[in-house]
Amino acid sequence: MQSARAQGGGVGKREEGQGMAYTEDGRYEISTVLSRTFDTIGANFLLFAGLSLVLSGLPAFAIDWWQASQIAVDTTDSMAVLRPAVFVPIVIVWLVSIVSSTVLQAALTRATVQHLSGETPNFARCLKVGLALFLPMIAISFLLAIGVGVGFLLLVVPGIILWLMWSVTVPVYVQEQVGIFEAFGRSRELTSGSRWRIFLTMLVLVFALWLLAIPVGMLTAAARSAGSATMLLSVLGAIVSALSSMVMVSIQACIYVELRDVKEGVAPGDLEAIFA
């Protein structure tokens, strides 16, 4: 299927089709990516919220609650968190959270692309994709963390550039079924020429999440002033973690779909054909 961008017509004109909006001038559109992200989440809220709460919210809740409840036993001991009875369970839950977060990334990426292609995402099928890919996804996350981390140590800017360059590595790997290193290369290729627009997209999203976090912060402060608020604080932390993960993964998938359309004229239906 040829994208509407590649067909004739006036420059800058937008045309709707199969959940997508095409620009014939071949330019990455920030507003399109953002609206597509929240439209996708809104249309599949129960699915997205369910996956995010189970795979991101629950591990965050377990870590926060266990750490806070154990430290609260002896508030005079500043090294309480290093006791094996406290530290070991936290490490175990942290490792579980690494696995679950990679499963979530793959599952929500599939769900987002399926929705944009006009299909209805299925909880079990998306979760199955996530479970099948969790080992290579862990490797990708590790390589991303190392590369971007080293870049940030080199006066921050190189880290930002690498983060933007590799920002769609996960969607590429999940959707195109390529090798791990090939996924990094594809991400670099796709993001070329659009990286500052991607940066602005993420900046807008981070600002929006920050605004949403303000009332959560107020609730947290009120809960702390009440004294015994360990459970409530852990629940709030879990909700924030699930919401942030849901939005961040979804917008990465939408950025990937937009870049494939802009640079290669590939519509969502073609992406599904590749996956199949």
pLDDT of 132 > 80? The answer is yes
Task: Give how many domains the chain has, as a whole number.
Answer: 1
Containing structural domain, residue 136? 4-275
Give the mean pLDDT of 171-179. Answer: 92
d(CA 61, CA 56): 9
Which SS3 state, helix, strand or coil, does residue 161 take? helix
* pLDDT for 217: 72
Q: How confident is the model at residue 27 (pLDDT cuts 50, 70, 90)?
A: confident
* pLDDT for 252: 95
Bridge partners, residue 23, by sequence = 14
Q: How confident is the model at residue 258 (pLDDT cuts 50, 70, 90)?
A: very high
* pLDDT for 240: 86
Bridge partners, residue 16, by sequence = 21
Q: For the purposes of burial, counting CB atoms within 10 Å of the CB of 137, is it exposed (0-12), middle (13-18) or buried (19 or more)?
A: buried
d(CA 274, CA 255): 18
33-50 pLDDT, tens digit per residue, is 999 999 999 999 999 999
* pLDDT for 17: 38
**Choice among 47-56, 59-68, 111-120, 238-247 with the minimum mean pLDDT:** 59-68
Instruction: Supply the angle between the helices 84-116 and 45-52 in degrees, to the nearest 10.
Output: 160
* pLDDT for 23: 44
Q: How confident is the model at residue 1 (pLDDT cuts 50, 70, 90)?
A: very low
187-225 pLDDT, tens digit per residue, is 999 999 999 999 999 999 889 888 877 877 777 667 666
Q: What number of other Cβ atoms are within 10 A of residue 71's Cβ?
A: 16
* pLDDT for 36: 92
d(CA 250, CA 110): 9
pLDDT of 12 > 60? The answer is no
Q: How confident is the model at residue 8 (pLDDT cuts 50, 70, 90)?
A: very low
* pLDDT for 263: 87
pTM value is: 0.81
Q: Considering only residues 10 and 136, tell me which one the structure prediction assigns the higher pLDDT.
A: 136
* pLDDT for 61: 86
Looking at every residue in the chain, the average pLDDT score rounds to 81
The answer to whether the CB of 60 falls within 8 A of the CB of 101 is no
Q: Considering only residues 6 and 156, tell me which one the structure prediction assigns the higher pLDDT.
A: 156
68-91 pLDDT, tens digit per residue, is 666 554 445 555 556 666 667 667
